[in-house]
């Protein structure tokens, strides 16, 4: 018995040694199947389900994350150029534009007073094909297989998702597909968010909508090919024209957005059939594009999968980068066929901590830096520049800092009797508040330094914004030793006295001036602290701030009706042009009177004159001169406290190729490459199981249990002998 015991112990020890020797190749926490291990797959996550993937309706970043890999508008943004520059995508070249007067005569100048129509001529590349899709499937006789389905076809054939259809097909892209999509934008049944804007711009857009059936049934197919829009003219299969009313040079930027992606009429017909909507078989769930990827799995409650489009045309990684781009590794794959990966898998992660832990384990290839992980990842240099902590440097992570093209601000309702209007009293009150609200401090406390205090209405990297001493707001900052410094609070208090509020006292009541601050509730953990911080800023100049936090819909109603005094809001750029920011101060865009985006209701005839001179010019010296005058006027009158230009900090694993950040064009997945071999090696290294504690525990159990078992067996044998005797 003792011999058996010793042999058992030796066997167990040998087993433990074998396990510990081979455990380095075991990974128990890998969330992906072994079949994916050697494939060129990019792994990432998303935290909010997209509402729709229909390019006529989608208008948010979490939706663009997917559809801009699938759809291809006519134009896009040059991968390397900064400031951002438009370039042809499916178009052969940039659109040709000619201007017409009221008699349709071509005019050579761009004087707004003479331009009645702008005609854009566009030519697309041949040999571009749609991704495989059942809507394009044909039989041997050339008839569409699935455009005339019987009433019960879907149920009889157990079809619940797009992949359940047996056949798929493809065809070449024609300009008819772009024309069809523009008509979809005008279809009231589609309810595109840019219907209002385009109805004011594209000739015949609104009239086209009136031609369509007034009250169609939900799934009735309206063949838009049978209706004519005056502003659209097909020249041939690869050329067409779009005519705008007047002059609107920013239309070029819209041609780079998914709204102007091609849609085949067959897909519209296919999705309009009976029963499709019940099974979520529509544009919102199953897009059909010509881009580098196609949606192969749509499960927004778990994961979204993009697969390489087998019909994608010949497209190559650009090679027009500069020396700085080459130094940062952005030209590593110059000249290679796109896309560089075969698949992208996005997993739903609503909580930031699990998402971050999986990134550290190597199971996500990229991650943003959240507030929860900031201290673990980032340390700030004495000059405030973020860099990786030593623990993150050992993982050789890549940190990319990208300026986002947005602006968060405090707005003054210029219709208000206290803070609004063009009086010197109100202007100095607004400037005093502008100095008192220290957004540099806010960025340090609540954003971990991820951003910069805005100096005016135009964010960095947009034409018109200036750098250095020439770019600061001199009413709030002064330039000292190579950096902007906020003016002291004593200057704000002096402005309060000049405005008639010495010490922040209202001369009518003798008490502290009370101002109302409207802000949408977010429910975030820092919300109360942010409100308290804002009250503190106003109290520095003697003002009592009454915080009115409401649900976002209620907040919008108050701004829309002019029932605010001071409010907090933001603006995200639709396109990288100064007009997209400066139009928010244009009088005819006033929110209360005209329902426009001028939420402060700022109205200044001189501003409007300068804006009209600036808006349609090319980015030349004269446009810069006009912008300088506009910015000076706005800084002087201070309809906003300019707030924050936020920055994104993005981490990528060392096996992911360096990718130049672009916060305007989200369709950059085709430029991403992964080193699969290195990823597999590091995943195993970072996720080695620690098994010796389990082995030790097992040995301790054996040490105590085996003697007990042996004693029990010995006792049983003695009993057996007594019974035999």
Q: How far is CA 333 from CA 16, 325, 388, 436, 656, in A?
A: 46, 12, 26, 49, 12
Specify whether the CB–CB gap between 634 and 585 falls below 8 A.
Answer: yes
pLDDT at residue 92, rounded to an integer: 98
Range of weakest confidence among 109-118, 171-180, 246-255, 571-580: 109-118
pLDDT at residue 719, rounded to an integer: 64
- Residue 455, both tokens: 């100096």
Q: Is the pLDDT of residue 691 over 80?
A: no
Range of weakest confidence among 13-27, 46-60, 94-108: 13-27
CA atoms within 13 Å, Cβ hemisphere of 124: 30
> What is the chain's Cα-based Rg?
32
pLDDT at residue 309, rounded to an integer: 98
Q: Is the pLDDT of residue 171 over 70?
A: yes
Angle at 367 between CA 361 and CA 370, to 5 degrees: 105
Range of weakest confidence among 50-54, 191-195, 361-365, 519-523: 519-523
pLDDT at residue 61, rounded to an integer: 83
Taking the alpha carbons of 169, 175, 176, 181 in that order, is the dihedral positive or negative?
positive
Specify whether the CB–CB gap between 58 and 191 falls below 8 A.
Answer: no
Q: Mean pLDDT throughout 37-41?
A: 95
Angle at 106 between CA 102 and CA 107, to 5 degrees: 90
Q: Is the pLDDT of residue 21 over 70?
A: no
Size of the chain, expressed as the number of residues it contains: 725
pLDDT at residue 26, rounded to an integer: 58
Helix, strand or coil, per DSSP, at residue 591: helix
Express each pLDDT in 536-588 by its tens digit: 999 999 999 999 999 988 999 999 999 999 999 999 888 999 999 999 999 99
- % of the chain surpassing 90 pLDDT: 73
Q: Which residues contact residue 692 at a Cβ distance below 8 angstroms, ignoring those fewer than 6 apart?
A: 16, 20
- Rounded CA separation 548/430 (Å): 19
Express each pLDDT in 130-148 by its tens digit: 999 999 999 999 999 999 9
- Rounded CA separation 36/33 (Å): 6
Confidence of residue 689 (pLDDT cuts 50, 70, 90): confident
End-to-end CA distance of the chain: 23
pLDDT at residue 698, rounded to an integer: 64
- Residue 202, both tokens: 């594209």
Express each pLDDT in 235-250 by its tens digit: 999 999 999 999 999 9
Q: Mean pLDDT throughout 347-364?
A: 92
Q: Is the pLDDT of residue 2 over 60?
A: no
Specify whether the CB–CB gap between 655 and 674 falls below 8 A.
Answer: yes
Q: Mean pLDDT throughout 150-172?
A: 94
Q: Please give the order of strands across the beta sheet that includes 232-236.
A: 106-107, 96-100, 117-123, 239-245, 232-236
Highest mean pLDDT among 225-229, 445-449, 479-483: 225-229
pLDDT at residue 648, rounded to an integer: 84
Helix, strand or coil, per DSSP, at residue 254: helix
Q: Is the pLDDT of residue 22 over 60?
A: no
- Rounded CA separation 317/330 (Å): 10
Instruction: Identify the bridge partners of residue 242 per DSSP, sorted by sequence position.
Output: 120, 232
pTM of this prediction?
Answer: 0.84
Express each pLDDT in 400-422 by its tens digit: 888 788 899 999 999 999 999 99
Range of weakest confidence among 324-328, 643-647, 665-669, 691-695: 691-695
Confidence of residue 500 (pLDDT cuts 50, 70, 90): very high
User: Phi/psi of residue 270, each to 5°?
Assistant: -60, -50
* Residue 84 vs residue 670, higher pLDDT: 670
Specify whether the CB–CB gap between 360 and 354 falls below 8 A.
Answer: no
Q: Is the pLDDT of residue 695 over 80?
A: no
Q: Mean pLDDT throughout 648-664?
A: 92
- Rounded CA separation 68/283 (Å): 14
Range of weakest confidence among 149-158, 179-188, 443-452: 443-452
Place of tokens 């081979």: 22
* Residue 346 vs residue 695, higher pLDDT: 346
Range of weakest confidence among 320-334, 412-426, 706-720: 706-720
Confidence of residue 220 (pLDDT cuts 50, 70, 90): confident
- Rounded CA separation 677/309 (Å): 24
Q: Is the pLDDT of residue 315 over 90?
A: yes
Instruction: Identify the bridge partners of residue 368 per DSSP, sorted by sequence position.
Output: 650
556: left (phi over 0), alpha (psi -120 to 50) or beta: alpha
Q: Is the pLDDT of residue 521 over 70?
A: yes
- Rounded CA separation 76/257 (Å): 8
Q: Is the pLDDT of residue 1 over 80?
A: no
Average pLDDT, rounded, for the chain: 90
DSSP letters, 675-700, are -HHHHHHHHHHHT----HHHHHHHHH
Strand pairing class (86-88; 75-77) = antiparallel
Q: Mean pLDDT throughout 220-227?
A: 92
Q: Is the pLDDT of residue 216 over 70?
A: no
- % of the chain surpassing 70 pLDDT: 90
Confidence of residue 7 (pLDDT cuts 50, 70, 90): low
Q: Mean pLDDT throughout 468-484?
A: 94
Express each pLDDT in 380-390 by its tens digit: 777 667 889 99
- Rounded CA separation 84/634 (Å): 25
Strand pairing class (544-550; 378-380) = unpaired
Can you list the pairs that 104-112 forms with residues at least 24 positions away whose Cβ atoms lie under 8 Å? 110/247, 110/616, 110/617, 112/246, 112/247, 112/612, 112/616
């Amino acid at each position: 018995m003792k011999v058996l015991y010793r042999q058992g112990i030796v066997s167990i020890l040998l087993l433990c040694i074998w396990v510990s020797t081979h455990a380095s190749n075991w990974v128990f926490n890998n969330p992906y199947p072994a079949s994916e291990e050697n494939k060129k797959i990019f792994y990432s996550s998303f935290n909010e389900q997209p509402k729709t993937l229909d390019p006529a309706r989608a208008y948010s970043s979490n939706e663009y994350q997917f559809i801009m890999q699938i759809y291809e508008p006519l134009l896009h943004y040059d991968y390397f150029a900064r400031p951002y520059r438009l370039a042809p995508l499916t178009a052969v070249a940039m659109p040709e534009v000619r201007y017409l007067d009221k008699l349709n005569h071509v005019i050579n100048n761009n004087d707004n007073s003479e331009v009645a129509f702008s005609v854009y001529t566009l030519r697309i590349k041949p040999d571009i094909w749609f991704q495989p899709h059942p809507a394009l499937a044909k039989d041997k006789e050339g008839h569409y297989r699935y455009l005339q389905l019987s009433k019960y076809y879907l149920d009889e054939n157990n079809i619940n998702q797009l992949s359940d259809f047996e056949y798929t097909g493809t065809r070449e892209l024609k300009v008819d597909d772009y024309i069809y999509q523009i008509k979809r934008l005008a279809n009231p049944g589609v309810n595109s968010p840019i219907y209002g804007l385009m109805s004011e711009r594209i000739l015949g857009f609104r009239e086209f909508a009136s031609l369509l059936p007034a009250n169609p049934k939900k799934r009735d197919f309206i063949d838009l090919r049978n209706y004519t829009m005056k502003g659209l003219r097909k020249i041939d299969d690869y050329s067409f024209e779009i005519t705008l009313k007047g002059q609107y040079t920013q239309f070029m930027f819209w041609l780079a957005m998914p709204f102007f992606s091609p849609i085949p009429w067959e897909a519209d017909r296919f999705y309009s059939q009976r029963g499709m909507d019940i099974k979520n078989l529509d544009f919102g769930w199953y897009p059909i594009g010509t881009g580098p990827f196609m949606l192969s799995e749509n499960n927004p409650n778990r994961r979204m999968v993009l697969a390489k489009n087998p019909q994608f045309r010949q497209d190559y990684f650009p090679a027009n980068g500069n020396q700085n781009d080459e130094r940062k590794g952005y030209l590593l794959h110059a000249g290679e066929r796109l896309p560089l990966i075969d698949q992208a898998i996005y997993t739903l992660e609503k909580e930031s901590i699990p998402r971050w832990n999986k990134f550290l384990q190597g199971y996500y290839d990229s991650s943003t830096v959240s507030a929860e992980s900031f201290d673990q990842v980032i340390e700030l240099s004495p000059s405030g520049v973020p860099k990786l902590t030593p623990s993150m440097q050992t993982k050789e992570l890549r940190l990319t800092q990208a300026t986002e093209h947005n602006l968060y601000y405090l707005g003054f309702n210029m219709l208000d009797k206290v803070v609004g209007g063009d009086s010197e009293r109100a202007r100095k009150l607004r400037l005093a508040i502008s100095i008192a609200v220290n957004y540099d401090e806010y960025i340090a406390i609540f954003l971990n330094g991820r951003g910069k205090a805005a100096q005016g209405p135009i964010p960095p990297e947009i034409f018109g914004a200036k750098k250095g001493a020439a770019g600061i707001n001199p009413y709030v900052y002064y330039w000292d030793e190579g950096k902007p410094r906020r003016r002291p609070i004593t200057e704000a208090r002096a402005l309060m006295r000049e405005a008639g509020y010495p010490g922040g006292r209202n001369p009518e009541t003798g008490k502290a001036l009370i101002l109302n601050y409207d802000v949408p509730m977010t429910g975030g953990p820092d919300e109360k602290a942010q409100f308290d911080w804002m009250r503190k800023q106003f109290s520095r100049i003697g003002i009592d701030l009454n915080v009115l936090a409401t649900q976002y819909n209620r907040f919008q109603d108050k701004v829309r009706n002019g029932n605010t005094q001071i409010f907090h809001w933001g603006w995200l750029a639709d396109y990288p042009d100064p007009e997209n920011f400066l139009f928010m101060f244009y009088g005819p865009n006033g929110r209360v009177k005209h329902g426009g985006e001028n939420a402060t209701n700022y109205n200044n005839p001189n501003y409007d004159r300068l804006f009209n001179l600036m808006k349609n010019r090319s980015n030349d010296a004269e446009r810069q001169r006009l912008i300088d005058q506009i910015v000076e006027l706005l800084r002087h009158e201070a309809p906003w406290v300019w707030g924050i230009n936020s920055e994104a900090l993005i981490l990528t694993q060392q096996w992911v190729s360096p990718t130049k950040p672009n916060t305007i064009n989200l369709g950059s997945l085709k430029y991403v490459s992964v080193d699969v071999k290195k990823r597999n090696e590091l995943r195993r290294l970072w996720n080695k199981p620690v098994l010796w504690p389990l082995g030790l525990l097992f040995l301790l159990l054996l040490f105590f249990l085996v003697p007990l078992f042996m004693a029990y067996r010995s006792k049983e044998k003695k009993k057996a002998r007594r019974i035999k005797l």
